[in-house]
Amino acid sequence: MRQDGQVTLDMADLAQKLPSRLVDESGWAPFVEMLPPVLVLGAMDDLMVDQRALEETAAFFGLFQEKDGNKNIAKSRLVVLKDSGHDSMLGYHWNAAADAIHSFWSATTTAKNKDVTDVMK
């Protein structure tokens, strides 16, 4: 267990690799259209992942962009929690993170079930 607390992250090395070189001209991942819905969950008071990084991550998964003249119908979502830090699920306002995840999951599974029902008709 002691080793778990000794993991380090080379931020200088990571910064050289961001934003991802895999993105296309629109900022999307080349495989974004094959992905299931994605929740990008961040926190306003996060000292490790800033707002720009959240937006780049969301763009990587197809949010905020148009591709080939078509607006992305957001099956994915960016949620930024107020009064939360990097470890949102471990903080005082953990329930806000849990609620965001639950809301996204509920909306995703409801939409998926609706699609299945529509196909079965």
104-107 — which CB contacts under 8 Å span 24+ positions?
104/37, 104/39, 104/77, 104/79
Confidence of residue 41 (pLDDT cuts 50, 70, 90): very high
A 10 A CB-CB count for 27 gives: 20
- Asked if 59 and 27 count as a contact pair (C-beta separation under 8 A), the reply is yes
The 10s digit of each residue's pLDDT in 67-104 is 555 554 456 789 999 999 999 999 899 999 999 999 99
Report the relative pairing of strands 66-67 and 70-71 from DSSP bridges: antiparallel
The 10s digit of each residue's pLDDT in 17-27 is 666 677 777 67
Domains along the sequence of the chain with CATH: 29-115 (3.40.50)
Q: Is the pTM of this model over 0.85?
A: no
